[in-house]
Amino acid sequence: MTDLQEHFQRTLDRDQRLEPRDWVPDGYRKTMIRQIAQHAHSEIIGMQPEGNWITRAPSLRRKAILLAKVQDEAGHGLYLYSAAETLGAERAELTEKLIDGKQKYSSIFNYPTLNFADVGVIGWLVDGAAICNQVPLCRCSYGPYARAMIRICKEESFHQRQGYELLMTMMRGTDAQRRMVQDATDRWWWPSLMMFGPPDGDSPNTEQSMAWKIKRHTNDELRQRFVDMSVPQAEALGATLPDPSLCWNAERGHYDFGEIDWSEFKQVVRGNGPCNAQRVAHRRAAHDNGAWVREAALAHAAKHSAREEAAA
């Protein structure tokens, strides 16, 4: 083992963080860039399903909250791109890879938001699942990623609570509103469980990621934690989770739940979900339509620095 490899391993063994200019194995760098980029892309694409409802939010209060939330998603994407750049990735290149379909984002954002209760259920279940995934990432071995996650987790708590509060408000409303909440819950529950990724037996990267202390828990562990958290929340809300096999297993001390339709998950990951094409096309259009702004700002900056130099 070389000195560099030894330093890397010792840092991991002591549970210390790796920092941007430390030597890391190529595999670690590649895995980390891929994971952070996918995560950043998910935040950026994740603005779309909820952004869909900003102009149609039912009150000024809900509109202001939703705007703040979608702005946070943009912020989270930017914290993460910033972390990926410390590993040598280029921002423009990451954006290109997203809009060329060469890098993925979370499959959950390829589902449509059909009614306003979807905004609430996304906050409750989708952000709830994201928090389950992200809290352990605050202790990830790569320092800049871990620090971005700490910042993000603090903000996600607002996201989840505003969603749950929205749903509670609707549940106190009319029968039609309660039906909307149940409909949204029915549609988002299973995709939320898929957010944790394939089952442990079918997740080839987990072992290496855990050895590198990038991941701290397996997909199935986190999924179980999420189910256990969600059942009492659904009860308090008065919504039914769409899984007849869901029941408490006293022996395990966990809820048992039904089989996930992994063929659907694979289809969506492969690009055949209900909104994949639309999401990427929208991101591409925003990028292309912003090109003149990026150029003009650079030209403006160049003109001003030339003037300042001439005056000096």
Residues of this chain that bind another protein (CB under 8 A) = 19, 21-23, 68, 71-72, 75, 78-79, 82-83, 85-86, 90-92, 144, 147-148, 155, 291, 294-295, 297-298, 300-301, 304-305
Shortest distance, CB of residue 92 to another protein, whole angstroms? Answer: 5
Shortest distance, CB of residue 156 to another protein, whole angstroms? Answer: 13
For residues 103 and 110, which CB has a smaller minimum distance to another protein in the complex?
103
For residues 17 and 187, which CB has a smaller minimum distance to another protein in the complex?
17
CA distance 137 to 215: 7
CA distance 25 to 27: 5
Tokens 């029915």 -> residue: 186
For residues 22 and 235, which CB has a smaller minimum distance to another protein in the complex?
22
Burial 93-124 (b: 16+ CB within 10 A, else e): ebbebbbeeebbbbbbbbbebebbbbbbbbbb
Shortest distance, CB of residue 5 to another protein, whole angstroms? Answer: 13
Structural tokens at position 230? 């969600």
For residues 144 and 197, which CB has a smaller minimum distance to another protein in the complex?
144
| 254-256/247-249 β-pairing | antiparallel
Give CA separation, 92 vs 77, 95, 177, 249, 282, in Å: 14, 5, 43, 49, 17
Helix (H, G, I), strand (E, B) or coil at 92: helix
Shortest distance, CB of residue 148 to another protein, whole angstroms? Answer: 7
For residues 6 and 261, which CB has a smaller minimum distance to another protein in the complex?
6
Give the residues across from 252 on adjacent strands: none
For residues 3 and 259, which CB has a smaller minimum distance to another protein in the complex?
3
Shortest distance, CB of residue 17 to another protein, whole angstroms? Answer: 12
Shortest distance, CB of residue 144 to another protein, whole angstroms? Answer: 8
CA distance 193 to 246: 13
Give CA separation, 263 vs 244, 269, 292, in Å: 20, 10, 42
**Contact indicator for 166, 62 with CB cutoff of 8 Å:** yes
